Amino acid sequence: MTGDTLFDVSQEIVLITGVSGQLGGEYAKQFLERGARVVGLDIQSSLGGDSLTKQYPRNYLFCTADVTDKASLQKALNSIEHKFGIPTVLINNAAIDSPPSAPPEENGAFEDYPDESWDNVMDVNVKGTYLACKVFGAAMAKNQHGSIINISSIYGVVAPRFEVYAGTKMTTPIEYAAIKSGLIHLTKYMAKYFKGMNIRVNTLSPGGILDSQPESFLKEYKQKCLNKGMLDKEDLKGTLVYLLSDMSLYVNGQNIVVDDGFTL
């Protein structure tokens, strides 16, 4: 069996939630280039998603859906089944975070963090993942085949290193750490729950992704790493392909960290 065969994902039906976000479109593109059928799911479309529809009319489907609404996800599943069949892969990528442009209190002191922001982010990042696992995981269970990948973060593994944010308007909000660590344990729970159903559940925890952050932050962050520092979006594709392919058949319930050594 050749290496290309081992990493073959051309028979997969890959569902990516949050496809219109920073990483979702990159994930979709990588799998489409490898011959997979891909479903992009988001509450709204994007120019990138529209271009994928035009470029891969047979292999790409965009579904408008709200991950916090079970009925919306069920409707999306019906559309996916009609077009491609039951998804074989679910990448839970949908998330909302506090960007540098967020209101000051969202990137400020823990004591000032808005309670409504906590509720909103928990709803999408945790409940959204939970509901997607429920709806699409149940369909996979009927098929006795599937792989679920939850997207966590280095700050689901280690406590925030607040010193890297010195002199910027950035920080790691309390909800981010709580959510990302929670997703890692959700992965373990789901992996055990699906025992005997031929469904694997794993987590990918990336390091920071380059997105026009201040130079002072990039410098401080890189000092915590071993070689590159902040990652490019493309740096995650190899690990994702590995988790989808037959090379990881018995990798189950694990958290794979891609961070250039930041968590060491």
pLDDT at residue 59 is higher than 50: yes
- The CATH class of the 3-258 domain is alpha beta
Q: How confident is the model at residue 39 (pLDDT cuts 50, 70, 90)?
A: very high
Phi, psi of 210 (to 5 degrees): -60, 130
Q: In the predicted model, what is the mean pLDDT of residues 221-234?
A: 97
CB 209 within 8 A of CB 155: no
Say which range, 61-70, 95-104, 107-116, has the weakest mean pLDDT.
Answer: 95-104
Angle between helices 24-33 and 237-244 (to 10 degrees): 60
Decide: 15 and 36 in contact? Cβ < 8 Å.
no
Structure tokens at 130: 């939970």
Q: Give the list of residues 6+ apart from residue 92 with CB closer than 8 angstroms, or none.
A: 17, 128, 129, 132, 133, 148, 149, 150, 151, 183
Whole-prediction pTM value?
Answer: 0.93
Q: Is the pLDDT of residue 221 over 60?
A: yes
Q: Of residues 176, 189, 221, 242, which has the active-site annotation? A: 176
Query: Is 176 a known active-site residue?
Result: yes
**Model confidence pLDDT, tens digit, residues 124-165:** 999 999 999 999 999 999 999 999 999 999 999 999 999 999
Mean pLDDT of the 173-177 span: 90
Asked if residue 90 has pLDDT above 90, the reply is yes
Mean of all residue pLDDT scores within the chain: 91
Query: If pLDDT is split at 50, 70 and 90, which confidence band does 8 have?
Result: confident
Q: What percent of the chain has pLDDT over 70?
A: 92
Answer for the pair 131, 190: CB distance below 8 angstroms, yes or no.
no
For the chain, the structural domain boundaries read 3-258
CB contact burial 54-91 (16+ within 10 A = b; e otherwise)? eebeebbbbbebbbbeeebbbbbbebbeeebebbbbbb
Query: Is 102 a residue whose pLDDT tops 60?
Result: no
